[in-house]
Amino acid sequence: MLVLLIIFMVAAPMLQRGVEVNLPVARSAQRMSEERLYVTVPASYRDTGNVYIDDEAIPRDVLAERVRQRMLSREQKEVFLRGDGTVQLQELMQVMDRLKDGGIERVGIVAMPAERTRGGR
């Protein structure tokens, strides 16, 4: 199984970053990246076969089509994958395979930065 995806790791965003300032207004400013789409693979995936798109639980059979629908209006065919630490690589590959079917080109794997976890593993 060859999955041609660009995979990268991102740190989970903090809720609030930086000090609140009134940013200058510029007409030619480019939009920052579109709203991120998160796909979550919970620990229960093994039993239920369900993943989450944002907050909505869906069976993995319809994941590709749902992701395709969400990507219709987007330039960047990108999702951020939040997997439970106990999810097996095989299970993650099943999900990535379906993301690829749904037209995804880039998958960001969301990880918690070590210094923010207890004990700093």
Partner 1 sequence: MTLFERVHGWRATRRPGYVALVTALAAGISGALWAQQPPASQPPPSQPSSVELRITGEPGTPPRLAVPDLIALSPDKETLEAATLIGQVLWDDLNYEREFYMIPRDTYRSIPSPKSLGDVSFARWRELGSDGLVLGTVQKVADGIRVELRLFNVRAQQHTFGREYIGSVANPRLYAHTMADEIHDSQRSLKGVARTKLTFSSDRNRDPVANTVERRDVKEIYIADYDGANPRRITINRNLNITPNWSPDGRSIAYTSYRRTLPDVLISNIFVGTLEEPTKGIGQNFLPVFSPDGRQLAFMSTRDGNSEIYIANRDGSDLRRLTDNPAIDSTPTWSPTGTQVAFTSDRSGTPQIYVVGVDGTGLRRLTFESYADRATWSPAPYNEIAFASRTGPGFDIKILSLADGLVRQITFGEGTNESPAWSPNGRHMAFMSTRAGRSQIFTVDRDGRNIRQITHDGNNFTPNWSR
Nearer to partner 1, 5 or 64 (CB): 64
Nearer to partner 1, 71 or 81 (CB): 71
Nearer to partner 1, 36 or 66 (CB): 66
Residues near partner 1, by CB under 8 A: 58-59, 61-62, 64-66, 69, 72-73
Distances (CA, A) of 8 to 11, 62, 116: 10, 24, 20
Tell me the closest approach of the beta carbon of residue 76 to partner 1, in angstroms.
Answer: 17
Tell me the closest approach of the beta carbon of residue 33 to partner 1, in angstroms.
Answer: 18
Tell me the closest approach of the beta carbon of residue 41 to partner 1, in angstroms.
Answer: 17
